[in-house]
Amino acid sequence: MPDPLSVEVIYALPARQQIVRLKLPPGSTLRHAIEASGLLQKYPEIDLTKNKVGIFAKLSKLDAPLRDQDRVEIYRPLIADPKEVRKQRAAEGKIMKKGAGDSDGE
């Protein structure tokens, strides 16, 4: 009989990470690991139809087969578009730089 797979399921919260270590039968999928982790019950905001998932920071499908020592990750939805945040920071930086050298003559 083949050895069970040792995997971790990770859900990153804003302040901490939830890590669940599991032993699963060979042939298990990403979905099996997430369901076996108990995280869906503990965090009802996780919706596998909306949340992206991956293995070692690489987006994967729920039916992806797992290998021993895989790290399954459940990603939270982004709060802000990273491109927009960078644009805003760049615009704020230009304003600060323009005003930084001005003096009132006082």
Token pair of 38 as six digits: 């108990």
CA-to-CA distance for 27 and 48, rounded, in angstroms? 20
What are the pLDDT digits (tens) for 1-26?
789 999 999 999 888 999 999 999 99
pTM of the model: 0.73
- Sign, CA dihedral 55-37-51-79, equals negative
* DSSP per-residue string spanning 61-102: -TTPBP-TT-EEEEPPPPSS-HHHHHHHHHHHHHHHHHHHT-
What are the pLDDT digits (tens) for 28-76?
999 999 999 999 999 999 999 999 999 999 999 999 999 999 999 999 8
CA-to-CA distance for 17 and 40, rounded, in angstroms? 15
Q: Would you identify the CATH topology of the domain 5-100?
A: Ubiquitin-like (UB roll) (3.10.20)
Torsion of CA 43, 48, 53, 55, to 10 degrees: 90
